[in-house]
Amino acid sequence: MATRGHGGTPRPGRRTRAAVVLAGLLLCAGCEDSLGQPPPRPAGPPAVAACLTGSGDLIADVDNDGRPDRITDPSRHGARLTVTFGTGSPRERTVTARELADRPGKRQRYVRAVVADFDQDGWSDLAVVAGGAQAGDDPVPPRVAELRLGPFSGTGRSRRTVRLDLGATRDIAVADYNHDRYPDLAAYTYAGDGVYVSEARLGDPRTGLGADTRAYTTDAGAAGYDPPARLPHTGLTPFYPGCGTR
Ligand SMILES: [Ca+2]
Ligand SMILES: [Ca+2]
């Protein structure tokens, strides 16, 4: 139905706005298609029992296709994370943190991603941080800071996404600070004026890592201008058994 002004003529402004909204919806639909659908909602626990290899790689079925996937990050702070879907099968395919970080993440200067079962439901989850470079006096918040609850796809899509209130985070790692059942997140963040700090994002004691982590953040030490070679108390060992040890 055409919208008309007092004079009975259509209002070009409204028509223009409607066209812009329609174009936006079509563009958004295109985004959904190119990234594909998230994996189906799991009906139960994963068929593949998650475990750690001797070299520290995580083996888990992260996309709920019944085949084991291999997650590795030689950088240990989220920079070089890769997920090899269907590892060992003829259809295996390796994707990088940048490919998992979704469309906005692909345009960012840096991308960091880690995998752990942050909500302890049996399905490994993907935490992603992506944004511009830190420089100058003021911290630059990330454009993407999300926990994508597993299972997740080869484009990093999941059915449930939680936006995290991380600050100007540069590096992230899975950590165990308070020895509860939930994995914590070590965040190496920019405090401004050239200074970085390490923060322990502990998550809620009853539900694990969630949107508002500020109430459960402690100073993890190791502050400075240069990142430490390894963020403190990090690693997946406390949260997964070794492969073949059960
Ligand atoms: Ca899989
Ligand atoms: Ca999970």
For ion ligand 1, residues whose CB falls within 5 Å: 61, 63, 65, 67, 69
Min mean pLDDT across 19-23, 82-86, 149-153 is at 19-23
Helix (H, G, I), strand (E, B) or coil at 12: helix
Q: What percent of the chain has pLDDT over 70?
A: 83
pLDDT band at 232 (very low <50, low <70, confident <90, very high): confident
Q: Has residue 124 got a pLDDT over 70?
A: yes
How many angstroms does the Cα of residue 10 sit away from the middle of ligand 2? 52
Structure tokens at 211: 């949107």
- Residue 5 buriedness (CB in 10 A; 0-12 / 13-18 / 19+): exposed
How many angstroms does the Cα of residue 228 sit away from the middle of ligand 1? 33
In tens, the pLDDT along 89-105 reads: 999 999 999 999 877 76
How many angstroms does the Cα of residue 1 sit away from the middle of ligand 1? 49
Across the beta sheet with 93-96, the strand order is 51-52, 58-60, 69-72, 82-85, 93-96
Q: Which residue has the tokens 């949107």?
A: 211
Of residues 105 and 239, the one with the higher pLDDT is: 239
- Write down the mean pLDDT value for the chain: 85
| Nearest ligand atom owner, CA of 87 | 1
Q: Has residue 226 got a pLDDT over 70?
A: no
Q: Has residue 217 got a pLDDT over 90?
A: no
